[in-house]
Amino acid sequence: MDPVKYIKGGVARNIAECMSKIGTRPFMISVVGNDMAGDFLLNHWRLSGLCTEGAVYELLGLFAYISYAQENFLTPNWIYRFRSRISSAPLLMLDANLPYESLKAACTISVVKGQRIAPIAEFIACTTPNEIELIAMANALSPSVKYNFHKMDQCKDKAETVEHLFEMLRLPMFFLLEKGIKLLIVTLGSKGVFLCWKRHINFMNNQHKCKHTPFSTQLLEKLDGCFASETHVNLYRESSSRTCVFHLPAISASVVSLVGAGDCLVAGVLSALCGGLDFMPSVAVGVAIAKASVESETNIPDTISAGSVADDARRILLSAKRLW
């Protein structure tokens, strides 16, 4: 009989672990089972030197009832207990599987999955859907027009594939921007990401919340000057009504496992923003860390090299193409 192997998982937990490995210290508000698996997760968290104050035990220890646990333990009252933590954080990341009341509580203190984003769209600065989730979000906010997405057949010409994807996703992307979402990062798997916004966003208005780490300092140094061209220099000076869309390509990787790649992308973006990078370089960092993830057997790579990430992020930025 093959041995049973425990692998640490969970979207928010994966993101938090990845952030901690690249120098950012996240505070996670979550629910874990009062069982062996829950203890396994919490012990790893403590060994990483991170705070477990925000984790509430689900006393039944039944991980199968994850929706029940979220709705009965991750309540607005539990979230309000950490009001000072949330309000003082440079960024707030939400796993939008939470109930609407909990999502709204966290959002209102700080100032998704599919349809649950609709009631709180006005609070959302950035969201990272894939193609299917993007369509679900747009349809949840659109009572009359319904958007569709059909996966295309494999195309040898990557540029043609990207252009075709953009034409299919352009209208729902623009619709979500009109509804108040500030920045869309649409993940396209091996084809990279679409980065879409309507006005330049400064995620770190309070610069005193920005904490430089050795990891972020190395990124800042290596990525300096990646936007030397006139197109990029003038990008942020354009009219606030002008919508911009860029394609940032993925880098070729020796794929071992795809599990955790999306979580690492989000973690890289968040950590880079907290470290003082602007949002486009931060997304490039996220794509680079996602590459490291797919080359790892575990959800989160054991080690993440700042030098390698910076080099890959630089290549991504220099290959970025403006689509709109």
Would you report the helix, strand and coil content of the chain in percent, each value rounded to 5?
Answer: 50, 10, 40
Residue 228 has pLDDT above 50, yes or no: no
**Residue 239 contacts by C-beta under 8 Å, 6 or more apart in sequence?**
none
Q: State whether 77 and 157 are in the same domain.
A: no
Q: State whether 171 and 307 are in the same domain.
A: yes
Q: How many CB atoms lie within 10 A of CB 21?
A: 19
Give DSSP secondary structure letters for 184-208: EEEE-GGG-EEEEESS---TTSSGG
Q: State whether 252 and 302 are in the same domain.
A: yes
Q: State whether 301 and 196 are in the same domain.
A: yes
Q: State whether 51 and 147 are in the same domain.
A: no
Q: State whether 121 and 105 are in the same domain.
A: no
Q: Please write the tens of the pLDDT for every residue from 74-105.
A: 888 888 998 888 888 888 888 877 778 888 88
Q: State whether 182 and 248 are in the same domain.
A: yes
- Whole domain around residue 160: which residue ranges? 112-324
**Is 99 in contact with 71 (CB distance < 8 Å)?**
yes
Give DSSP secondary structure letters for 105-121: HHHHHH---GGGGGGGG
Q: For strands 183-187 and 126-127, give the pairing.
A: parallel
pLDDT band at 310 (very low <50, low <70, confident <90, very high): very high
Q: Please write the tens of the pLDDT for every residue from 231-271.
A: 444 555 554 568 899 999 999 888 898 888 999 999 999 99
Q: State whether 298 and 150 are in the same domain.
A: yes
Domain count, the chain: 2
Total residues belonging to the chain: 324
Query: Mean pLDDT of all residues in the chain?
Result: 81
Give CA separation, 114 vs 107, 127, 137, in Å. 17, 11, 5
Residue 3 in any domain: the answer is no
Q: State whether 143 and 276 are in the same domain.
A: yes
What's the distance, Cα to Cα, between the start and end of the chain in Å? 55
Q: State whether 118 and 150 are in the same domain.
A: yes
What CATH number corresponds to the domain at position 137? 3.40.1190
Nearest to 134 by CA among 197, 187, 58: 187
Q: Please write the tens of the pLDDT for every residue from 143-193.
A: 788 888 777 655 556 667 899 999 999 999 999 999 888 899 999 999 999
Q: Which of the listed residues 62, 81, 110 is the one where a domain comes to its end?
A: 110
Q: State whether 247 and 220 are in the same domain.
A: yes
pLDDT band at 71 (very low <50, low <70, confident <90, very high): low
- Tell me if residue 31 falls in helix, strand or coil: strand
Whole-angstrom distance, CA of residue 156 vs CA of residue 151: 15
Whole-angstrom distance, CA of residue 202 vs CA of residue 192: 23
Residue 13 in any domain: the answer is no
Q: For strands 30-33 and 55-58, give the pairing.
A: parallel
